[in-house]
Amino acid sequence: MLLVQQLISGLMIGGIYVMVAVAFTLTIGMLNFLNFTIPALFMLAGMVAWGLTTVGIHWAIALLGGVATATIASLIVERFTYRYMRVRYGDATEHALPLVSSLGFLIVFEHLVLIVLGSEIQRFPNPFSSADFYIGGLIIGIPQLASLVLALLIVWGLSTMLKRSRVGRALRSIAENPDASTLMGVNVNFIVPVVFIITGLMAGIAGMLFTLNYAAVNAYMGDEVAAKAIAGMVIGGLGNIWGAIAGGLIVGVTEVLAIHFFGADIVKIPIWGLLLVLLIIRPSGLFGHTAIGKGKF
Amino acid sequence: MLLEVEALNVRYGRNHAVRDVSLSVAEGEIVTVLGANGAGKSSLLKAIQGTVSSSSKVARFSGNDLLSLSSHKRVSSGLVLVPEGRQIFVSMTVHENLLMGAYCRRDTEVAADIEGVYGRFPNLAQRRDLPASVLSGGEQQMLAISRALLARPTLMMLDEPSLGLSPILVNQLFDLITSLNREGLSILLVEQNTHKALQTAARGYVLELGRVVVEGTPEQLRSGEQLEAAYLGAG
């Protein structure tokens, strides 16, 4: 029974990893670029929301403000890493420059938050403190359940958008062949910011859900989550949305099971151990080159 | 003139790929650009499409100054390029490739036009929901041309469409080009297959090391020595 309880908790925290992993995988699949700013966007959503509640703003509006800040920050990163490099040095995707400058933005954003909002762990008002329900002795937290459902719904919506809509097809065409995509009349300079808006929204909403679940924020809250999300993304297969979903959930479950059986201190070893073993057996990740993986999105 | 460029130059760093090329295509005309590998033919087409940067004295397409149009706007103004190597989207289905071709359009006739393509190419219709990667080379070229047609172009530029096709398919391809032209489409054709290109085109240009060395009707080009010299790389 306790084990089932752990599995449920694992899936719920996994929902947050799924969203962050999808944010990572999207920029890799579309732009061939590991966007290191994602943990900062995640953290900005939480910290800005907390900052807004301290000046008396309602928690719900504060959370929306946090997500909006993350999205705007993501667009700033696009303007000064990806687009700048592209204009200046041609096809930036072939260089490590955007990767390094996104790492720079991560550090800048984190330190700006440190200066303005401080480095302590802050309590976020928990609006659902006792909102749990029980099924046959299993405790299910409403915010956790809501965030798992919301995360999966958003990822499903995103994948439907990529599959069926005009913008979605344009994004996939850029992912496959940006030159041919331009020949179809796709304005790459208009579409690329769309990827960054989606990234900002995904990371920001994940940060919002994390804040609601744990009712605590700090300036480094994004780093650990992002590391686990990257592990999940690689386990699932780079650049593949369904892989990111599976990988994120697997990491969430592995994490709680590891805590259950071995304690919290060594939780990172099973996650990264799993990743390393999987990379030896299947370097492409679970869905890297399978039927699901082939279409990428 | 539908397309008119004067003194067009393309430079990649120190490599001066296209030098002072002047070229025109009249409405309803098939014009071919011939020349050996590396003569600058593809660069010329890419410059006209706007995917590589160029400088020129004049660059006009159906009354618009090309320099004021970015590459994606040239597509919606009726200028399309079927690139070398087809460049179809292999991760997408045949149908999605065609939808991408109509990306620049906002009208309601896209679905009808796609049905028109399926009527013309039953092979594509049969494979509409399969990934484009399953198509044969000939079918991929049909898809690449159909995809370009869905932008409703007035001028279609084709970069070495016959490359890698069997002789039968090459004949079919040139028949298709001729019939598209009869339907009113103007064509600028870059080819290595000099024989077929000169059979099809009304006028031609021969490029050598980025420069136009001779231009004129197919008869003029065939009778002169420059065409052969351009391929043999004399000079």
pLDDT at B233: 57
Tell me whether A186 touches chain B (CB under 8 Å): yes
**pLDDT value for B90:** 93
- Which residue of chain B comes nearest to A182, CA vs CA? B72
Q: Is a pLDDT exceeding 70 seen at residue B63?
A: yes
Residue B71 has pLDDT above 80, yes or no: yes
* Average per-residue pLDDT for chain A: 86
Single out the residue of A34, A53, A62, A94 nearest to residue A207, CA to CA. A62
Closest to B92 measured CA to CA, from A289, A239, A163, A292: A163
Rounded CA-CA distance A57/A67 in Å is: 15
pLDDT single digits (tens) A130-151: 667 777 778 788 878 888 898 8
Query: Token pair 């306790």 is at which residue?
Result: A2
Q: For residue A290, what pLDDT band results from cuts at 50, 70 and 90?
A: very low
Give me A206's structure tokens. Answer: 């994940």
Other CB atoms closer than 10 Å to residue A190's CB: what's the count?
11
A98 vs chain B: nearest CA distance in angstroms? 22
How many C-beta neighbours within 10 Å does residue B109 have? 11
A169, A183, A188 member nearest B75 (Cβ): A183
So what's the architecture of B3-89+154-232 in CATH? 3-Layer(aba) Sandwich (3.40)
Inter-chain Cβ pairs, chain A and chain B, closer than 8 A? 66
Percent of chain B scoring above 70 in pLDDT: 98
Over residues B168-184, mean pLDDT? 96
Return the bridge partners of A195, or none. Answer: none
Q: How far is B76 from chain A (nearest CA, A)?
A: 7
Other CB atoms within 10 Å distance of the CB of residue B179: 11
**CATH code for the domain defined by A2-294:** 1.10.3470
Give the model's pLDDT for residue A213: 86
Q: pLDDT tens for residues A175-219?
A: 888 889 999 999 988 888 999 999 999 999 999 999 988 889 999
- SS3 for A186? coil
Note the pLDDT of residue B232: 64
- Cross-chain residue pair A186–B103, CB shorter than 8 Å: yes
The reported pTM is: 0.85
Write the CA distances from A157 to A35, A164, B39, B46, B96, integer angstroms. 22, 10, 49, 37, 19
Q: How far apart are CA B59 and CA B181, in angstroms?
A: 23
Q: Residue window 258-297, chain A: list those with CB within 8 Å of chain B.
A: 294-296
Closest-CA residue in chain A for B152?
A: A184
Contact call for residues B79 and B60 (beta carbons, < 8 A): no
Task: Give the integer Cα–Cα distance in Å for B69 and B72.
Answer: 8
At A70, list the tokens. Answer: 């993350």
Please name the residue of chain A whose CA is at the shortest distance from the CA of residue B72.
A185
